[in-house]
Structure formats: structure tokens, C-alpha cells
Structure 1
């Protein structure tokens, strides 16, 4: 524990942060749960992404996911109160999970620690970018209110687009807004998806996977200032080689940027399905491990 640090940083398992960075920046994580064949697993702790994609291949029905219990939050907050004055918790978008609201509720129930919940309005590594920046600032001793203000501003500069092989996962799980518009023949396209007002919505309809990725790269070029410090992430659902290929392309396109590979773990993978791809970027520097 770092005695001089009075603000703890907490996120949930869907940030899919590498353990090296979690340890380096003293980040706490609360897991979401995945229910497979009647058995509950804590994401990342009991169920790795690799094991999840193996298990899913043998299932007839999609797994189910659930947020951490409010009691799990209150227990963790009480534990953190022994070492910290405050905790900033940054969670996946409230439009696709009740995790953020559970943190808000738990924060109102505990004493001895000030809880600052933040709705990342995204998920996966783009959420992780916000967590890493908050953790860096906490280590520097910046006041929690200032960190919250900084992360709220950084959210507006953090972007992500993704595509799925099969929209039915999102539709069955109720995670896709305007789902009716994409029924029937629309299931044949590869729509580019993004978050708007905490919800996953279609951005553009594209006919093929390659064209969808090319379009996302075009959007990145329009949005990114090549001279600005930047970290880009390629996120994949059990497609490591494809992710490496896109990483190499992006390094050529943005030579000054850090380009890292991340993944869709069990919870997000349940809703996006194997083969999903995501691209996110944020104007911060994340050291390559």
C-alpha cells in the first residue's frame, strides 16, 4: 500500500487492463459475473478470455452476465477506508450495465470514505485509458475533485468504434439501441457501432468487415492530431493475429502514437460475440509494457 496516497482508484473487470499496469498504478478492480450452464464465474479472476471463448463454443445458449452486487461494493469501500480518504470508481457505461449505479448506491451507504463514481460511458480499454489517467493523477497527490474534473473532460476526447460479426448477441442481450432497424436483411451488414449517451448505437452501415475497418481508420485520421501524444488500442474477441495486423497498420499511420492490443473479455464478449473488433483512442500516453 502507498501510505501517502489518499485517493484509491477502482474500476471493474471490463476495463481489461493488463496486470502490469494494474500493479504499477495501484488500481483496484471489482469483477462482473458470467453465468455459464448455471455456474457463476468472476470475470478475469475465475474466467479468462481464452477460457471463456473455449467454453462458449460448446454452449447451445449464450451465457448471462451480471453486475457486482451492491454488497460487494460496500465491502470493498469499507476495506479501502482503512487506507484511503476517498475512492474514485470508473465503470463501464451505465447504458449497458448497472455497475455504475451499484457503485453510486453503495457509495451512499458507506461511511469513512468519500466515493466519487464516474460513468465512463464506454467500456473495455477506452474505459481503461480513463482509469490509468486517474491513477497517475492520484499517485501525484492531486485532489479527488480535480481528478474527477480532469477525467470528465478526458471522456470527451476519448473515442471508440467497433464492429461485430453477428448482431444477434447484442440484440438478445438488449444492449443495442435501435435494434429493430437492424433486423432482417440488416443482419447481413457489418455496421460500425459506437456509444452515444451511454448506449450502443449503429454509426454507419457497411457491407464488409474490411470496408468497415477502413472506414474506422478514416474516422481516426479525421479525428486524430498526429502531433498530439496519443494511445490507440486495437480490441479483439479471440482474433489475436488480426489485431496484430491492424496494430502494425496503425503504427504506420500514426508513427508518434502508442498502439496497444487489448481484448473483449467474457462479459463484453458475451454481448459482442467472437470475432468482434474495436478501435479506441485517447490523448494520453500509456507506456508500452
Structure 2
């Protein structure tokens, strides 16, 4: 049986509890039978994978590979994933580079089938690298089954780290934030931006995100926002504003229901 995360509170209070207990909870989750069985199989067999086809044709390996990048829902999209892996990320027109969700590029780059003469699956440290990511992402997924806001908050540190590893310019880093659905949701909420911003020109979105970040954090540099103190502020603003929005929505719904229930029903009058 998989260990179920203990989350007694929501919002920022729940986040602080999760931070204090995270190491113990993650270890218990990683040691649970289903997770340990999946990671053990991956560690023992990924070294035999030499082609993208080898990976896609082994559902157990593919499940861990996708799960390590939060792409679990693509487990049955084998042809799509095969193309992501075979195209790699070097060419501008590679499939992963043409998708708005940059997790696919991270996934393809990590395995290296289309980017290197030999894939990274044969490297000695590779199994541990992917298993570590898988355990973290799957724990976040389990947290999300109870509270999705906390799942999004947990993704912030690793998501920003991935962006800083692959992007040098500040604009490229912002575009990566905007192209990563979990991170975008956190930033957009924390910065008080409406959902409708997604419908405007991308360069205009970039300008708005940077201007609002400068106002809220005193900087528009992603590397500065990724530092512990600023990152904690980002998470706190996200959770507080998200909880406030959810509360307002529930209150508005309850008020509307009360008004409907209290409105007198008109009885038709006979002529």
C-alpha cells in the first residue's frame, strides 16, 4: 500500500506543516511497496535501454520516466512520446521545442536519445537521477490528490531549478516559467494576474509578468526570485491569494443559494 501524505491543514498553514515533516513523509512514501517496486525495476533495467523504442515499449520503465517529469497522463500516448524522444531538443523545429509545455523538452533532454551519439541511460548516475525525480514528483502527485495548491507549491523549487539549468537570458527564463503550467499557475496567482492574461500577445504577457514581479519582489530576475527567501514569499503569496479566492467563490455561491431559497415563489393566479 502506498503511503498517503499527512496534510491536516490547507493554505499556508498546511504548507508550513508540510515543510516541517517533508523529509520523513517523502521517505515513507518512497519506501512504500508500489513506489519501491517501480523504482527498483527502473534502476535495474534502464541501463539496458539503448533506443527510444526500447523505452516506449516497456510500460514499467516508461511510467517512471514520464512520472519523473509530471507527464504521467501521457503513458498511453506512445507515438507522441516516441517522437518527443527521437527528435531531441537541439533542433529548433524538434517537437518538444514546438510545444508550449517545456516539461517535454526537459524529459527529452534528460534521456538524450535525439541529442547525443549514445543516450544518457547508460550513465552510472542516471538511474538515481530519474528515480529521485520520480519519487519527488509522485509524492507531489499524492499531495495533490488532497490539496492541489500544495502540490503546485511543492513544484516551485525543482521547476525553477530546471529553468535556471537550461536558460541563460532572463527573458528566456520568463518564457520558460510561462510555458510550464504548474509554475505559471503559481506565479500568475502570486502576482495577482487574471486568467485572461493568457489570451494576449506573448511579448505583452512577458512585460506584464516582469513589471508585476518587480513591484512585488523588488526584482524581475528569475535567479533572484529562486533564492530561498524570495521563493518562500512567492509560495506564501500564491497560497494566501488562492485560498482567499476559493473562500470568496464558496461564499458567493452560498450567498446566491441563500437568496434563491429565500425568494418567494409566485403562485399562478386563476383568471
Q: Which has the higher helix share?
A: 2
TM-score w.r.t. length of structure 2: 0.31
The structure with the larger Rg is: 2
